[in-house]
Amino acid sequence: MTGYLSVSNAVHGVNDKATIVAVSKFHPYEAVMDAYNEGARIFGENRVQEMREKFPPKGERPEGMKVFLIGQLQRNKVRKAIEWADRIESVDSLPLIEKIENECISLGSDIDILLEFNSSGEENKSGFRTEEELLDASEHIKNCPHIHLLGIMTVGPLGGDEEKNRIAFSRTRELYLTLKDRNPSVSVLSMGMSGDWQTALEYGSDEVRIGTAIFGERK
Ligand SMILES: *Cc1c(COP(=O)(O)O)cnc(C)c1O
């Protein structure tokens, strides 16, 4: 592992409450297994195809190993995503929600999801653009029995500006608390990456998604 944060520090030292998603995109399965052997259990991948090529199917993975999809999901890849991922953290539109429910029905399976919030307002970021849109989507999910809504995911602003991070994380936390009020099953606030996870934890994040700090730079 070439990152500066050892897996055991990441898994046991970030804090007692937060879950670590070790983001293994662009890194080979050998790196995944190195991290697994040091204690990492949950991995994050951005693309459906890379996830399916790298990880064994559900049920054939080493004990406790899970894979979360964290990158933008195209509608034509939903079926393939549901088959492989233990959770989809990047759900960002109503049509995508409808497609997920329909594919779950056809596959006879359920899926855990997070709704992604564009907390920085950056144009090129995915995620729901307003609080209202995300909350509307969460109401719609109440009619989708195969989709289990667990919470919210956000990617902080580009550039690592501390003040901007705080504004984005604080806004996401407010939205999370509103969502939780309306949905008792909601319990996951996923925010914080290699450059900003300490700040995210201050705003109540209970899941950080860390790639570079564990695996080193991506090629
Ligand atoms: C790549 C990625 C991460 C991890 O980023 P690092 O800066 O390498 O820690 C986390 N979340 C999402 C959605 C990503 O695409």
Q: What is the pLDDT of residues 59-81, one digit of tens each?
A: 999 999 999 999 999 999 999 99
User: Could you read off the pLDDT of 172-214 as tens digits, one per residue?
Assistant: 999 999 999 999 999 999 999 999 999 999 999 999 999 999 9
Ligand 1 in contact with 209 (CB < 6 A)?
yes
Q: At what angle do helices 131-141 and 162-182 cross, to 10 degrees?
A: 30
Ligand 1 in contact with 71 (CB < 6 A)?
yes
Ligand 1 closest atom vs CA 193: 9
Ligand 1 closest atom vs CA 195: 7
pLDDT for 9 equals: 66
User: Could you read off the pLDDT of 105-151 as tens digits, one per residue?
Assistant: 999 999 999 999 999 999 999 999 999 999 999 999 999 999 999 99
Using the CB atoms, write b or e for 20-49: b if 16+ within 10 Å: bbbbbbebeeebbebbbebebbbbbbbbbe
Q: What is the mean pLDDT of residues 47-61?
A: 97
How many angstroms is it from 23 CA to the middle of ligand 1?
A: 6
Residue nearest atom 5 in ligand 1 by C-alpha distance: 211
Ligand 1 closest atom vs CA 153: 13
C-alpha span between 190 and 153 (Å, rounded): 5
Q: Is 214 exposed, middle or buried (0-12, 13-18, 19+ CB in 10 A)?
A: buried
Q: What is the mean pLDDT of residues 84-98?
A: 98
Residue nearest atom 6 in ligand 1 by C-alpha distance: 211
pTM: 0.95
Q: Which two tokens stand for residue 160?
A: 């690592």
How many angstroms is it from 193 CA to the middle of ligand 1?
A: 6
pLDDT band of 10, cuts 50, 70, 90: low
